[in-house]
Structure 1
Amino acid sequence: MTIESVKEYYGQTLKGSGDLKTDACCDPSAMPEHVKGALSLIHDEVLTRYYGCGLVIPEKLEGMRVLDLGCGAGRDAYALAKLVGPRGFVTGVDMTPEQLSVARGHIGWHMERFGHTRPNVEFREGYIEKLGELGLEPASFDIIVSNCVVNLSPDKRAVLEGARSLLKPGGEFYFADVYADRRLDPSLKEDPVLLGECLGGALYWNDFQNLARAAGFADPRLVTSRPIEVAEPAIRRALGEARFFSATYRLFNIEGLEPACEDYGQAVIYRGGISHSEDVFVLDGHHRVEKGRVFPVCGNTFRMLKESRFAPHFDFIGDFSRHFGIFPGCGTAMPYSEEKTAPASIGACC
């Protein structure tokens, strides 16, 4: 019932972003110039079939193999295909035939526009809860992204577990989605508008944290968040007092991360070299690392940087031979909490 409702809402009911009734799929933050440049090269038909206004773009994309969950008509996938360059590759997955028809119809056009001699993007029809059935090679992706899609799924744990199985060691699931400040009445999922607007299926943020850990992502990192304004009177009444947030998380596929931030006296020094983050690298809302400055980190952060694609850009100080207790300031940040979240290269959602 949920899947069919979503397919109908995004395949037939919506014709463009203007048909959305809330700003749940929009991010008002400024878009970096290199992202604007990529979007300027995308075909008008693809752009008009995009149901949102944000874009999920992590750092250090060139040459990466990327999977886009819920790619729709291909806007984000094509932008990523431009940014990963001819040595990278992007696979988009969606369950909506109408959307995929638009995406597939413009592969050649975009490759010519990008100056690529061969396609570096493909689109597969399927369900994000059943990634294992799509013929994708396990442990083959550097990055998985999604923009306001996981909340639409009736089996969110399956999505997270499937994503982890496809990530290389040290790879990451970088995605934006909608979260609630409480557990919602299950009946909200039966309303096709509330579900399609990314509200009816939103997870309570703490349930998401626990679900991510159960799927093998031991230390979810909140990158950015913002409150969602619901102005439509009928929708606001149906939602009651629940508050909603758009949040971008990054989940690293690293075995053995600890459940808390433990202090081993370690530090990192950012050497620069990551495009569009030359002077400052933002890992998450607690880690804004200036180039050339010694930056103390917990053991998990140390490993996230040392065992991921970011490792060549850092010097690493210390090891795990001596433990000093919990790292100062350790705590699980909730979306739009009093704890400041630093801006990433670009966060979306949703």
Structure 2
Amino acid sequence: MTIESVKEYYGQTLKGSGDLKTDACCDPSAMPEHVKGALSLIHDEVLTRYYGCGLVIPEKIEGMRVLDLGCGAGRDVYALAHLVGPEGFVAGVDMTPEQLAVAKAHVGWHMERFGHARPNVEFHEGYIERLGELGLEPGSFDIIVSNCVVNLSSDKRAVLEGARALLKPGGEFYFADVYADRRLDPKLAQDPVLLGECLGGALYWNDFQNLAKQAGFGDPRLVTSRPLEVQEPAIRRALGAARFFSATYRLFNIERLEPACEDHGQAVIYRGGISHSEDVFLLDGHHRIEKGRIFPVCGNTFRMLKESRFAPHFDFIGDFSQHFGIFPGCGTQMPFSEEGGESSGACC
């Protein structure tokens, strides 16, 4: 019932982002110029069928294989296809035929616009809870992205486990979604409007942290977050006192990460070379790593950088032969908490 109501809401009820009743699926933060440039190349029909704003793109995607969960009419897929370049590849998955029909109708137009000799995109109709049924090769993607989609699923663990199975070792699931500051009444997820507006199915943030770990993504990292203001009176009444946040997380497919930030006396030095992050690399809300500066890190951060696509851009100091306890102040970070400030010289 939940899947069918979401399909109807996004496939038939909504005709454009102006039909949304809240801004839960929107990210008003400043968009980088290179992203604005990519969006300027997208066909108008694709743009008008997009139900949000912003674009969820991590660093260093040139030449990468990327999967977009809940791709809709293909706006993000096409933007990513331009940014990964002709040597990269982007696949999109969505369950709404009406949206996918728009996406597929403009493949040739976009490839010509981008100057690509052959298509570097493909679209699959299916469910993000059943990624294993789509014929995608396990362990074949460098990055998986999604924008305000996981909350719509009734089986979020299946989504996370399916994503992890498709990622290469060291790959990452980088995605924005909506979270609540408490567990919600399950009845809210049965309301098609509350669910379709990305609120009724929102996870309590700490339940998400634990669910990600159960799915094999140790040490989820909060990148950015912001509070959501629900102004529509009827929706606000239905939600009660619950507060909501839009948050971007990155989950690395790295085996046996430690459950806390353990200090092994390690450090990294960012050497630069990542496009659009030449002077500072932002791993997450706690790690703002300036180029050329020795930056102490915990064992998990050390491995996230050394065992991922970011490794060529860092020098690594130390190993795991010694242990000095836990980093002071290390703890699980709540979206938009006062603890969420950036750090410039330590792990936590």
TM-score, length of structure 1 as denominator length: 0.97
Structure 2 CA distance for partners of 1:98 and 1:347, relative to 1, 3 Å: farther
Residues 72-110 of structure 1, C-alpha deviations (whole Å, 9 max, x = no match): 000000000000000000000000000000000000000
Partners of 1:147 and 1:175 within 8 A in 2: yes
**Offset, 1:210:** 0.4
Partners of 2:173 and 2:252 within 8 A in 1: yes
**Offset, 1:47:** 0.1
Partners of 1:181 and 1:204 within 8 A in 2: yes
Aligned length: 345
Aligned to 2:346: 348
Structure 2 CA distance for partners of 1:136 and 1:346, relative to 1, 3 Å: farther
Could you tell me how far apart the structure 1 residues matched to 2:21 and 2:346 are?
A: 18
Partners of 1:27 and 1:349 within 8 A in 2: no
Partners of 1:65 and 1:143 within 8 A in 2: yes
**Offset, 1:7:** 0.1
Greater shift, 132-141 or 324-333, is seen at: 324-333
Structure 2 CA distance for partners of 1:147 and 1:106, relative to 1, 3 Å: same
Residues 171-220 of structure 1, C-alpha deviations (whole Å, 9 max, x = no match): 00000000000000011011100000000000000000000000000110
Partners of 1:56 and 1:347 within 8 A in 2: no
Could you tell me how far apart the structure 1 residues matched to 2:111 and 2:328 are?
A: 49
Structure 2 CA distance for partners of 1:348 and 1:145, relative to 1, 3 Å: farther
Partners of 2:46 and 2:103 within 8 A in 1: yes
Q: Match of 1:63, SS?
A: coil
Structure 2 CA distance for partners of 1:226 and 1:176, relative to 1, 3 Å: same
Q: Match of 1:264, SS?
A: coil
Structure 2 CA distance for partners of 1:191 and 1:178, relative to 1, 3 Å: same
Q: Match of 1:169, SS?
A: strand
Could you tell me how far apart the structure 1 residues matched to 2:42 and 2:221 are?
A: 31
Q: Match of 1:25, SS?
A: coil
Could you tell me how far apart the structure 2 residues matched to 1:163 and 1:334 are?
A: 23
TM-score, length of structure 2 as denominator length: 0.97
Could you tell me how far apart the structure 2 residues matched to 1:245 and 1:123 are?
A: 30
Structure 2 CA distance for partners of 1:68 and 1:163, relative to 1, 3 Å: same
Residues 238-274 of structure 1, C-alpha deviations (whole Å, 9 max, x = no match): 0000000000000000001000000000000000000
Q: Match of 1:99, SS?
A: helix
Structure 2 CA distance for partners of 1:346 and 1:297, relative to 1, 3 Å: closer
Structure 2 CA distance for partners of 1:189 and 1:18, relative to 1, 3 Å: same
The yes-or-no answer on 1:210 pairing with 2:210 is yes
Could you tell me how far apart the structure 2 residues matched to 1:32 and 1:272 are?
A: 18
Structure 2 CA distance for partners of 1:244 and 1:347, relative to 1, 3 Å: farther
Partners of 1:91 and 1:123 within 8 A in 2: yes
Q: Match of 2:73, SS?
A: coil
**Offset, 1:329:** 2.7
Could you tell me how far apart the structure 1 residues matched to 2:40 and 2:63 are?
A: 21
**Offset, 1:27:** 1.0
Partners of 1:41 and 1:113 within 8 A in 2: yes
Could you tell me how far apart the structure 1 residues matched to 2:126 and 2:23 are?
A: 27
Provide the alpha-carbon RMSD of the alignment: 3.1
**Identity across the alignment (%):** 90
Could you tell me how far apart the structure 2 residues matched to 1:91 and 1:26 are?
A: 22
Partners of 2:289 and 2:344 within 8 A in 1: no
Structure 2 CA distance for partners of 1:27 and 1:254, relative to 1, 3 Å: same
Could you tell me how far apart the structure 2 residues matched to 1:261 and 1:161 are?
A: 24
Higher relative contact order (CA 8 A, sep 6+): 1
Partners of 2:286 and 2:347 within 8 A in 1: no
**Offset, 1:349:** 26
Residues 261-298 of structure 1, C-alpha deviations (whole Å, 9 max, x = no match): 00000000000000000000000000000000000000
**Offset, 1:348:** 26
Residues 15-48 of structure 1, C-alpha deviations (whole Å, 9 max, x = no match): 1011001110111110000000000000000000
Could you tell me how far apart the structure 2 residues matched to 1:326 and 1:126 are?
A: 43
Partners of 1:64 and 1:142 within 8 A in 2: yes
Aligned to 1:88: 88
Q: Match of 1:296, SS?
A: strand
**Offset, 1:62:** 0.3
Partners of 1:54 and 1:347 within 8 A in 2: no
**Offset, 1:328:** 2.4
Structure 1, gaps ≥5 residues long: 340-344
Structure 2, gaps ≥5 residues long: none
Q: Match of 2:161, SS?
A: helix
Structure 2 CA distance for partners of 1:11 and 1:231, relative to 1, 3 Å: same
